[in-house]
Structure 1
């Protein structure tokens, strides 16, 4: 009889160091990986022009036909013999008899242009036999007496206003060379030169397998306890297509070694590259690295790379076919995919390496780093106070963040031998795509009401960016002139006033709205039901079994709560998430018993709420930025009836 492993044995298995046998530098891992692969472009396939956009030409293409395919007029006018116009002037015009046809586009000429005659012709019309020039209709006068004729008052040169056959593209002329990326311009040229199809490099097929017992398809409701939506597969599939590959999403696989191995073997049979998401970190359910060892040589080439995010990355090959196991956390997965997998996809697709742009920026805040591995820090960029430089704001969301990569403008590296980067030091930011500097930069405390105001600006085409760094962090940014708006709700314990005690020269305070802060708890909890907020905090702080979820230092909520606690440090005090929503989630899920949040969030999460303070959510504005159009648009929206009503619906009171 087989017995289930004991808890002790499960822990031992989870801690067993079966991976990271040799943590490599990113450079060495890349070298080993690429040395094992055949990175030549894949074989050619023929596609129609409608499917050719962004594909890569596989072999040189010559024009199949002349363009234009016949001599044609480039103006509306009259086709004639240039010799008949010699000596024509205003005083002595030449009279030419009109032939009995009008040559519109697509009409074949039927009448030869004889000496002393002309034929009406439209732009693009076929030049008739006998004609060697075209005159513009504006330079003629129509005469009707004695038969249709034109009077011409200026001479024409042979070839005037005629586009000759093959003058744009000649049959047999080299049209496109191998390696050319096809855009709309190349498609037009191919069509004009007589091609309905084009030979292109076959797009590499990239199989994507998501692994992990915790994963469920996006949109699953209700979300089971401990489950997370599989966002990686969607991100990776889009990134594969973005870089010239053909994504083959194969779905979610549980941590069943036999089932997963069978799926990987099938993927290797049909795909040019296999990407697995998850199953690289040390843990009881991680089996991917063991499977690779049974698939065939050369197997694992690097398992563990000295970088952050992305240390658990596993690079392997089966034969000459690449197999990559990405970390499960979204930021780690996406970052390592772009660094290690995208170059392989682009090479197989025949595309050139990505163009990379680097900008210098001043680091906004000190950023610590783990000694011994290169750390890549995702940052958002904003203009400096003088508008001449850039400030880099670390997003600080960690490798588990889904949004960090999409919100970042780029990243900079902290070397492996450094323990961090100091505020104010210049850093080289490698852009992710194009720099997307916002028209309105907002740094400080976040509020759902702010999202509604910015939605109105978005409808006006104004790009805004918010960085939630807390009220004090935003105030510091406003003092340095690094943002347009710094939302804050700072309570001065001495005066009992919000925000105004922090005003100083160069700053203006714009009133926003009032919102109610209070204690949140699970409905039915007798430790809170029926109490007022202050009494509930006093009792909870004295109860060792009552667990708090705090807020981050520098936030207005934290300042308010610290004042109410009067120096007490109840259980859970060190747990300091950065948003009202995170506090509400912790309480709703039972990981904490109480916390401080605004009433709007408490209602959204179905929590009990004990009001504490009617706080002021206002905006510090650097006076030097007041005249910016986007800031003026924000201030106008804030005063509009529509926005004020939206704020009321959310439970706020406009100032």
Structure 2
């Protein structure tokens, strides 16, 4: 059966004419918009409680005045301004108080006659005859003025002018005035205006309903048991949130298997919404069915399939009956990049929202970056403050289009021209920000990744510190520290000549803070007689001589790679050139049988239930630029590193101080 499946796939691949019409991003977008109606999707009425973030469908005209009457803005006394002329500290003017107290919400019953005043509270309605309010602080009570008979009096020590401390009727909002305009996004401020004019409901643009359908036999819904070779459906959750952020209403349709009839039924259901997004199945490989089903749509159907972008080449754009139908690539980074580039602007238009603001910032690329000629490549980057004030360095997040975290870790992206094959380190670049500008992190950590580092950074983050950690390896971290682009660079580099860790690599202007120790060794599947019960060096020599014993190596520049090369000498065993970028990647390759052995820390071996042959205890330390040593965030980092709590956590994870 398996052989027949292979034959069928090879025959099918031979017939494929994959991406015959790959077009530029600009051309694909123009074709897409040419067939779309991008006007808002009508209006609906919502209560004020549900109006936050919605877009006004019509202008809002006030039917009342705000305030609806002349009211006092202070606690004091309503009076005739003319009666206060000449009042001074040494010449107070006395006014008789009327037998009434005007609290807020109470209608006046008495007129303020010449020579009188009425007690009034903030918000109280100004009575007939009064044209000003004297603050209570500018008066003194007088019970029995000479020769004036009984009653209560006040003595004014300052004159009042007409309108003093009075908010006139309609001074804030006048009846018939347009207070909010169609197309405004309702925030708490606008909702307050609506409440002030007495509106309990408001007409808003209906959110476009966007159906979301994941495709593929390999997709498993979160919460369900995982099976070998499958992946959890992260795209549906990411896309649903992104649709909501763009002003739409996500309508999840679940997961469709790679079978035409089931997929067709769900596509038909999705077309009852205002737009349909499919995730995966847009390439022309085995099991890719989405593009075949969408190809059957008409009026006009597919307008672009294949875009000269990286990531995002398999993107498929279609329109039917004026509705957008988009098949996004299955890999998360590709899916999200193409969504924000091609889909989000459409949803915003249908929701009545203006185009999203685009912010670009200048930066410098600190590392050399390769590219593929023929496609515009977009590279996710994380921005850090450079050595000079205001200068930014853009570190590429080279996790690949299959990475789930690339968008969440990125501050923006840069574009590499389709004709470029390389961007050299030090090149000035323009970075388009993702979302709003964020304040720089309190602590920048660039260097080697380690699970133990979580024990240090976790407490700092819980205490309110913002931290940005970029995992670029020991050599990359050391280079960042030399350039002044980080506060802390975790490293574990052994000098092959002296066998000393880390100190031989320090340059002037750099300090070393002792971290912790971790045991490096050979990881293997338990019970493998090629390794079980042997010393690490002996097992490595024997494994290197066996072509059937596959190594998973570490990336060049990492401390573990330096240790591996020292162990192997001139030997280049099977798998030597297969490079993993983390201890976890080494461990999982061995656990899944893709490799038989590799070098990793003991903690990683324990996580994956692997055997471990100790090789060498290495020093995982922290390089700090001297110019940043006294920064408050750096001092807190060092204090945390030296604390009893962190030491206990590290010991619990298998590390030593």
Give the structure-2-normalised TM-score: 0.97
Which residue number corresponds to residue 466 of structure 1? 469
Structure 2 Cα separation of the partners of residues 19 and 297 of structure 1: 23
Which residue number corresponds to residue 149 of structure 1? 153
Structure 2 Cα separation of the partners of residues 449 and 3 of structure 1: 44
Aligned partners of 1:87 and 1:155 also within 8 Å: yes
Aligned partners of 1:507 and 1:622 also within 8 Å: yes
Aligned partners of 1:265 and 1:295 also within 8 Å: no
Q: How does 1:342-421 map to 2 (within 5 A)?
A: 342-421=344-423
Structure 1 Cα separation of the partners of residues 177 and 222 of structure 2: 52
**Pairwise CA distance, 1:45:** 1.2
Which residue number corresponds to residue 54 of structure 1? 53
Structure 1 Cα separation of the partners of residues 626 and 88 of structure 2: 69
Structure 1 Cα separation of the partners of residues 11 and 363 of structure 2: 46
Structure 1 Cα separation of the partners of residues 187 and 229 of structure 2: 46
Q: Please list the CA deviations of residues 70-121 of structure 1 after superposition, one character each: whole Å capped at 9, or x if unmatched.
A: 1110011011122222222222222112122222222222222222221111
Which residue number corresponds to residue 575 of structure 1? 578
2:205 corresponds to 1:206:
no
Q: Identify if the C-alpha distance between structure 1 residues 493 and 131 changes in structure 2 by more than 3 Å, giving closer, same or farther.
A: same
Match of 1:505 among 495, 503, 508: 508
Find the residue that maps to 2:271 and give its secondary structure: helix
Find the residue that maps to 2:617 and give its secondary structure: strand
Which residue number corresponds to residue 147 of structure 2? none
Aligned partners of 2:283 and 2:291 also within 8 Å: no
Structure 2 Cα separation of the partners of residues 125 and 587 of structure 1: 79
Match of 1:650 among 641, 648, 653: 653
2:199 corresponds to 1:195:
yes
Aligned-CA RMSD value: 1.5
Q: Please list the CA deviations of residues 173-198 of structure 1 after superposition, one character each: whole Å capped at 9, or x if unmatched.
A: 01111111111111111111222211
Which residue number corresponds to residue 454 of structure 1? 457
Structure 1 Cα separation of the partners of residues 3 and 549 of structure 2: 35
Which residue number corresponds to residue 592 of structure 1? 595
Which residue number corresponds to residue 519 of structure 2? 516
Q: Please list the CA deviations of residues 1-52 of structure 1 after superposition, one character each: whole Å capped at 9, or x if unmatched.
A: x999452222222454254120000000000000010011221111111111
Q: Please list the CA deviations of residues 600-627 of structure 1 after superposition, one character each: whole Å capped at 9, or x if unmatched.
A: 1111111111111110000111111112
Which residue number corresponds to residue 122 of structure 1? 121
Give the structure-1-normalised TM-score: 0.97
Unmatched runs of 5 consecutive residues or more in structure 1: none
Aligned partners of 1:377 and 1:413 also within 8 Å: yes
Which residue number corresponds to residue 281 of structure 2? 279
**Pairwise CA distance, 1:220:** 2.8
Which residue number corresponds to residue 84 of structure 2? 85
Give the stretch that moved more between structures: 321-330 or 56-65.
56-65
Structure 2 Cα separation of the partners of residues 182 and 592 of structure 1: 57
Which residue number corresponds to residue 263 of structure 2? 260
Which residue number corresponds to residue 488 of structure 1? 491
**Pairwise CA distance, 1:129:** 1.9
Q: Please list the CA deviations of residues 472-516 of structure 1 after superposition, one character each: whole Å capped at 9, or x if unmatched.
A: 111111111111111111111211110111112111111100010
Give the number of equivalent residue pairs. 651
Unmatched runs of 5 consecutive residues or more in structure 2: 145-149
Structure 1 Cα separation of the partners of residues 461 and 201 of structure 2: 42
Q: How does 1:537-552 map to 2 (within 5 A)?
A: 537-552=540-555
Which residue number corresponds to residue 241 of structure 1? 244
Structure 1 Cα separation of the partners of residues 559 and 476 of structure 2: 10
Aligned partners of 1:38 and 1:320 also within 8 Å: yes
Give the stretch that moved more between structures: 541-550 or 204-213.
541-550
Structure 2 Cα separation of the partners of residues 438 and 182 of structure 1: 31
Give the stretch that moved more between structures: 405-414 or 385-394.
385-394
2:561 corresponds to 1:558:
yes
**Pairwise CA distance, 1:398:** 0.6
Q: Please list the CA deviations of residues 151-207 of structure 1 after superposition, one character each: whole Å capped at 9, or x if unmatched.
A: 112221111111111110001101111111111111111111222211111111110
Find the residue that maps to 1:448 and give its secondary structure: coil
Q: Identify if the C-alpha distance between structure 1 residues 381 and 389 changes in structure 2 by more than 3 Å, giving closer, same or farther.
A: same
**Pairwise CA distance, 1:293:** 2.3
Aligned partners of 2:512 and 2:623 also within 8 Å: yes
Q: Please list the CA deviations of residues 404-452 of structure 1 after superposition, one character each: whole Å capped at 9, or x if unmatched.
A: 1110111111111111211111111001013433221111111111112
Which residue number corresponds to residue 130 of structure 2? 131
Which residue number corresponds to residue 26 of structure 2? 27
Structure 1 Cα separation of the partners of residues 474 and 4 of structure 2: 50
Aligned partners of 1:518 and 1:612 also within 8 Å: yes
Q: Structure 1 runs of 4+ off > 3 angstroms?
A: 2-6
Aligned partners of 1:358 and 1:431 also within 8 Å: yes
Aligned partners of 2:80 and 2:130 also within 8 Å: yes
Structure 1 Cα separation of the partners of residues 18 and 290 of structure 2: 10
Give the stretch that moved more between structures: 498-507 or 310-319.
498-507
Q: Identify if the C-alpha distance between structure 1 residues 4 and 472 changes in structure 2 by more than 3 Å, giving closer, same or farther.
A: closer
Structure 2 Cα separation of the partners of residues 113 and 605 of structure 1: 87
2:635 corresponds to 1:636:
no
